[in-house]
Amino acid sequence: MNLMSERVEILGVKVDAVTMAQAVNFVEKLIAAKKNSIVATANAEMLLRATKDVELKNILSAAELVVPDGAGTVWAAHHLGYEMPERVAGFDLVQELMKIAPSKGYKFFLFGSAPEIADKAKVKAEELYPGIKIVGTRNGYFNVDDEPEIIAQIKNSQPDILLAALGVPKQEKWLAAHKNELNVPVSIGVGGTFDVMAGVVKRAPKWMQRAKLEWLFRAMLQPSRAGRLVALPKFVMKVVRSKKK
Ligand code: UDP
């Protein structure tokens, strides 16, 4: 289902050229449609990974909405000659959805991240968005034997939106594998969102986000992630080469 946006192909993955407002509007339509939809937030790292991971690529192709998360995705679209109005970061999309949730009655389930983090993110959400309904939380460290119980917990709490923070591509694969059992209108893979909400990880200051340097801030703050930076030049090179072809 693709109601209004252009889909822009970047390294074989179609990304929706939406603004934040359009993305929010679209998620609301998906909630109303109740069709177990998947929303992905595609940054450079995810798009690069999808060139080698067919399962991930297929999941992204089948996703109802793929938003341009990250300066790299917006840059790539522009480089390839497409319109891409703005960056729609997963973290920001979650905040926008939570903002309207109390008046719309949308219920959330927070699944993923280290023990206690999803609970802290819940407390923070209740503080920031009074009246919001967070109907359950579950940390993201589990083995296969735990899965039936996790699925039952999510299903029985009947959220409208399931946020899965297990990292890429685990969250996308998990959501795709279980979407029919879960029977949740909209599931979104949200990476490190709960860590930021819980205050464990900081978001880059606004000026750095505007300068398109959030990736650099993250690498500085979590040196363990610095290795992941090589994905950026690789992504740029692949996009440039794909244009030449
Ligand atoms: N995580 C998890 N289960 C796992 C592996 C990771 O719940 O088996 C969590 C981790 O604690 C963190 C999130 O997944 O909260 C991944 O965050 P990251 O910023 O690395 O996300 P990405 O950049 O992969 O979207």
CA angle (199, 202, 205) in 5-degree steps: 135
- 111 touches 161 (CB < 8 A): no
Q: Is 165's C-beta closer than 6 angstroms to any atom of ligand 1?
A: yes
pLDDT for residue 1? 43
Closest residue (by CA) to atom 10 of ligand 1? Answer: 113
Q: What is the pLDDT of residues 123-179, one digit of tens each?
A: 999 999 999 999 999 999 999 999 999 999 999 999 999 999 999 999 999 999 999
Other Cβ atoms within 10 Å of 240 Cβ, number? 12
Closest residue (by CA) to atom 20 of ligand 1? Answer: 167
pLDDT above 70 coverage of the chain, percent: 98
Q: Is 112's C-beta closer than 6 angstroms to any atom of ligand 1?
A: yes
- Spatial distance between the Cα atoms of 59 and 57, rounded to a whole number of angstroms: 5
- Spatial distance between the Cα atoms of 161 and 237, rounded to a whole number of angstroms: 36
Centre of ligand 1 to C-alpha 23, Å, is: 23
Q: Is 169's C-beta closer than 6 angstroms to any atom of ligand 1?
A: no
Q: What is the DSSP letter of 137?
A: E
Q: What is the pLDDT of residues 172-225, one digit of tens each?
A: 999 999 999 999 999 999 999 999 999 999 999 999 999 999 988 988 888 888
Which residue type is seen at 226? Answer: A
Strands 107-112 and 65-68: unpaired
- 174 touches 184 (CB < 8 A): no
Q: Is 192's C-beta closer than 6 angstroms to any atom of ligand 1?
A: yes
> Please, what sign has the CA dihedral across residues 140, 70, 52, 220?
negative
Greater pLDDT, 15 or 244: 15
Q: Across residues 50-77, what is the average pLDDT?
A: 97
Residue 106: is its pLDDT beyond 60?
A: yes
Burial class (CB within 10 angstroms; exposed 0-12, middle 13-18, buried 19+) of 87: buried
pLDDT above 90 coverage of the chain, percent: 88
Beta bridge partners of 163: 110, 188
pLDDT for residue 3? 52
Atom of ligand 1 nearest to the CA of 225: 20
Q: How confident is the model at residue 4 (pLDDT cuts 50, 70, 90)?
A: low
- Spatial distance between the Cα atoms of 223 and 202, rounded to a whole number of angstroms: 14
Closest residue (by CA) to atom 21 of ligand 1? Answer: 191
Residue 67: is its pLDDT beyond 60?
A: yes
Q: Is 168's C-beta closer than 6 angstroms to any atom of ligand 1?
A: yes
Other Cβ atoms within 10 Å of 218 Cβ, number? 19
Centre of ligand 1 to C-alpha 134, Å, is: 20
Q: Across residues 41-50, what is the average pLDDT?
A: 97
Atom of ligand 1 nearest to the CA of 218: 19
Residue 230: is its pLDDT beyond 90?
A: no
CA atoms within 13 A on the CB side of 184: 32
Q: Is 191's C-beta closer than 6 angstroms to any atom of ligand 1?
A: yes
Structure tokens at 14: 């179609």
| Nearest in space to 168 (alpha carbons), one of 187, 189, 139 | 189
Centre of ligand 1 to C-alpha 218, Å, is: 14
